Amino acid sequence: MATKKQDDTPNMIDTFREFKETKNIDRTTLVSVLEESFRNVLAKIYGSDENFDVIVNPDKGDFEIYRNRTVVADGEVQDENKEISLTEARKIEPDYEVGEEVSERIDFAKFGRRAILNLRQTLASKILELEHDTLYNKYKDRVGEVISGEVYQVWKREVLVVDDENNELILPKSEQIPSDQYRKGETVRAVIERVDNENNNPKIILSRTSPKFLERLLEAEVPEISEGLIAIRRVARMPGERAKVAVETFDERIDPVGACVGVRGSRVHGIVRELGNENIDVINYTDNTKLFIQRALAPAKISSMNVDEENKKAEVYLRPEEVSLAIGKGGMNIKLASMLTGYTIDVFREIDPSQQVDDIYLDEFSDEIDQWVIDAIKGIGLETARQVLNAPREMLVEKADLEEETVDNVIKVLKAEFEN
What is the predicted pLDDT for the residue at 115?
77
Q: Identify the residue with better confidence: 381 or 233.
A: 233
0.85 cut: is pTM over it? Answer: no
**Closest to 103 in 3D by CA, of 116, 117, 111, 92:** 92
Max Cα-Cα span within the chain: 126
Q: Report the chain's mean pLDDT, rounded to a whole number.
A: 86
Average pLDDT over residues 165-177: 93
109 has pLDDT over 80: no
- CATH class, domain 354-419, is mainly alpha
Whole-number Å distance between alpha carbons of 92 and 102? 9
3 has pLDDT over 90: no
What is the predicted pLDDT for the residue at 5?
40
Coil, helix or strand for 142? coil
CA 166, 147, 158: angle at the middle one, nearest 5? Answer: 70
String of DSSP letters for 265-287: GHHHHHHHHHTTS-EEEEEE--S
**Sign of the four-CA dihedral 32, 34, 40, 42:** negative
What is the predicted pLDDT for the residue at 19?
57
Whole-number Å distance between alpha carbons of 289 and 282? 17
401 Rama sector, left if φ>0, alpha if ψ -120 to 50, beta otherwise = left
- The fold of 2-137 is N Utilization Substance Protein A; Chain:P; domain 4 (3.30.1480)
What DSSP element (H or E) covers 260? helix 256-261
The 10s digit of each residue's pLDDT in 188-213 is: 999 999 999 888 889 999 999 999 99
What is the predicted pLDDT for the residue at 131?
81
pLDDT confidence tier of residue 356, bands split at 50, 70 and 90: low
pLDDT confidence tier of residue 187, bands split at 50, 70 and 90: very high
Whole-number Å distance between alpha carbons of 147 and 134? 18
What is the predicted pLDDT for the residue at 1?
34
What is the predicted pLDDT for the residue at 166?
87
The 10s digit of each residue's pLDDT in 7-59 is: 444 455 555 555 555 556 667 777 787 888 888 888 888 888 999 998 887 66
String of DSSP letters for 143-207: TT-EEEEEEEEE-SSEEEEE-TT--EEEEEGGGS-TT----TT-EEEEEEEEEE-GGG--EEEEE
Q: Where are the domains of the chain?
A: 2-137, 149-209, 212-349, 354-419
Strand partners, 404: none
- Spacing of C-alpha 298 from chain mean position: 32
What is the predicted pLDDT for the residue at 24?
61
Terminal-to-terminal C-alpha distance of the chain: 108
String of DSSP letters for 44-84: HHHS--TTEEEEEETTTTEEEEEEEEEEE-TT--S-TTTEE
2 has pLDDT over 70: no
Q: Identify the residue with better confidence: 61 or 162.
A: 162
Domain 212-349 belongs in CATH node 3.40.50.970:
no
Percentage of the residues of the chain whose pLDDT score is greater than 70: 91
pLDDT confidence tier of residue 289, bands split at 50, 70 and 90: very high
Q: Is there a contact between 233 and 285 (Cβ–Cβ < 8 Å)?
A: yes
The 10s digit of each residue's pLDDT in 374-396 is: 988 888 888 888 888 888 888 88
**Sign of the four-CA dihedral 86, 87, 91, 93:** positive
Q: Is there a contact between 205 and 175 (Cβ–Cβ < 8 Å)?
A: yes
Average pLDDT over residues 210-238: 95
Average pLDDT over residues 397-414: 88
**Closest to 17 in 3D by CA, of 64, 56, 65:** 56
Look up the CATH number of domain 149-209: 2.40.50.140
Whole-number Å distance between alpha carbons of 159 and 172? 6
What is the predicted pLDDT for the residue at 142?
93
What is the predicted pLDDT for the residue at 15?
57
Beta pairing, strands 344-349 & 313-318: parallel
